[in-house]
Amino acid sequence: MDLQALLDNRVEAAAIVLFGIGLTTLLLNRNLIRKIIGFSFMDSAVFLFLASEGYIEGRTAPVQNILSARPAGAFVSPIPAGLVLTGIVVSVSVTALMLALTVRLYRHYHTLNLDEILHLARREEE
């Protein structure tokens, strides 16, 4: 791998590594709360990636100045900001939904371990 290219795109690379950490957490833990934490890691990684795509060096946030209007070349792209906003709202909703389902599962099976829950559920079906 070309290390220089990775160093130039270090924010994106960090986002990818964060995504991988979240994915590993999701796969390796059997505790449902930890799986949700891993999922939130992956969400944050996607937001970091999107936000870094919109950044342009030396430009400011897209807020116009009333007294002296600045040209479009003075601002960073506003589109990733809007996309990340959408993403954060959806991620909050999904996290709340997952936690609520976990609470219900815990009240029914008295455990947070996914393997045990599956085991108990299979025995209930029989």
Partner 1 sequence: MKADLDRDLVSSLDEALPEESHLDSGHLHRHDAGVARQDRRLAAGENRAARVSLLVYRSISVLAALAVILILLWGVLDLPLFGRGNNPVENEVSLRYLQSGLQEGGAVNLVANMILDYRAFDTLGESNVLFAACCTVILLLRRIQDRESAVSPLGEASPSALPEDPVLALGARVLCPVILLFGIYIILNGHLGPGGGFSGGAVMGAGLILLRNALGTERIGRFFSYRTFRRAVFAALSFYALSKAWSFYTGANRLPSFIPAGTPGAILSAGLILPLNIAVGLVVCCTMYGFFALFEKGDI
- Sign of the Cα torsion 118, 123, 124, 126 reads positive
Residues that bind partner 1 in the complex, under the rule CB under 8 A: 1-2, 5-6, 8-13, 16-17, 19-20, 23-24, 27-28, 30-31, 33, 52-57, 59, 61-66, 69, 71-73, 75, 77-82, 85-86, 88-90, 92-94, 96-97, 99-101, 103-104, 106-107, 110-113, 115-116
75: which 2 tokens?
């601002």
| Minimum distance, C-beta of residue 81 to partner 1, in the bound complex (Å) | 5
Provide the 10 A C-beta neighbour count for residue 43: 20
What is the enclosing helix (H) or strand (E) of 41? helix 32-54
> Residue 71 or 125: which CB sits closer to partner 1?
71
Provide the 10 A C-beta neighbour count for residue 63: 9
Rounded to 5 degrees, φ, ψ at 113 are -80, 125
How many CA atoms, within 13 angstroms, populate the side-chain half-sphere of residue 108?
Answer: 13
